[in-house]
Amino acid sequence: MNSKTEIIAYFSMEIALNPAMPTYSGGLGMLAGDTIRSAADLKLPMVAVSLLHRRGYFRQRFDPSGWQTEEAVKWDAASLCRELPPRAQVGIEGRIVQLRAWQYTVKGVGGHEVSVILLDADLPENTEWDRALTDQLYGGDFHYRLCQEIILGIGGVRMLRALGYHEVRRFHMNEGHAALLALELLDERARWFHRAAFNEADVQAVKHQCVFTTHTPVPAGHDRFPLDHVARVLGRADVFTMHEVFCCAGELNMTYLALNLSHYVNGVAKKHGEVSRQMLTPRDANHHYQIDSITNGVHLATWAAPSFAELFDRHIPSWREDSSSLRNALRIPVEEVWRAHLAAKQLALAEVNRQTTADFDVETLTIGFARRAATYKRADLLLSDPPQLKRIASRSGRMQIIYGGKAHPRDDAGKRVIQQIVQARDSLGPEVRIVFLENYDWELARILTAGVDVWLNTPQPPMEASGTSGMKAALNGVPSLSVLDGWWIEGCLEGVTGWAIGETYPANATPKQRAGCDAPSLHQKLEDIVLPTFYERREDFVRLMRHAIALNASHFNTQRMVQEYTVKAYFA
Bridge-based pairing state of the strands 291-293 and 264-267:
parallel
Predicted model pTM: 0.96
Query: Are 396 and 532 spatial neighbours (Cβ–Cβ below 8 Å)?
Result: yes
C-alpha distances (whole Å) from 139 to each of 54, 74, 409 are 12, 14, 9
Phi, psi of 194 (to 5 degrees): 60, 40
3-state secondary structure 9-46: EEEECCCCCCCCCCCCCCHHHHHHHHHHHHHHHCCCCE
Cβ atoms < 10 Å from Cβ of 374: 23
Q: How confident is residue 1, by pLDDT bands cut at 50, 70 and 90? A: very low
Residue spans of beta strands (DSSP E) within 208-250? 210-213, 224-226
Report DSSP state, residue 510: -
User: Lowest mean pLDDT: which of 25-39, 209-223, 276-290, 292-306?
Assistant: 276-290
> Cβ(323)–Cβ(300) under 8 Å?
yes
> Which amino acid type is present at position 546?
R
Residue 369 pLDDT > 80: yes
Mean pLDDT along residues 318-335: 98
Gap between the Cα atoms of 97 and 146, Å rounded: 14
Q: What percent of the chain has pLDDT over 70?
A: 97
Q: Which of 81, 82, 61 is nearest to 70 (CA)?
A: 61
Per-residue pLDDT at 286: 63
Stretch 119-147: mean pLDDT: 96
Over the stretch 448-501, which tens digit does the pLDDT of each residue have?
Answer: 999 999 999 999 999 999 999 999 999 999 999 999 999 999 999 999 999 999
∠ CA 254-47-157 to the nearest 5 degrees?
45
- The answer for residues whose C-beta is within 8 angstroms of residue 241's C-beta and 6 or more apart is none
Sheet holding 480-483, edge to edge: 432-437, 399-404, 365-370, 454-457, 480-483, 498-501
What is the spatial distance between Cα 252 and Cα 358, in angstroms, rounded to a whole number? 49
- What is the model's pLDDT at position 2? 43
Whether 165 has a pLDDT exceeding 80, the answer reads yes
* Chain centroid offset of residue 472 CA: 12
pLDDT band at 283 (very low <50, low <70, confident <90, very high): low
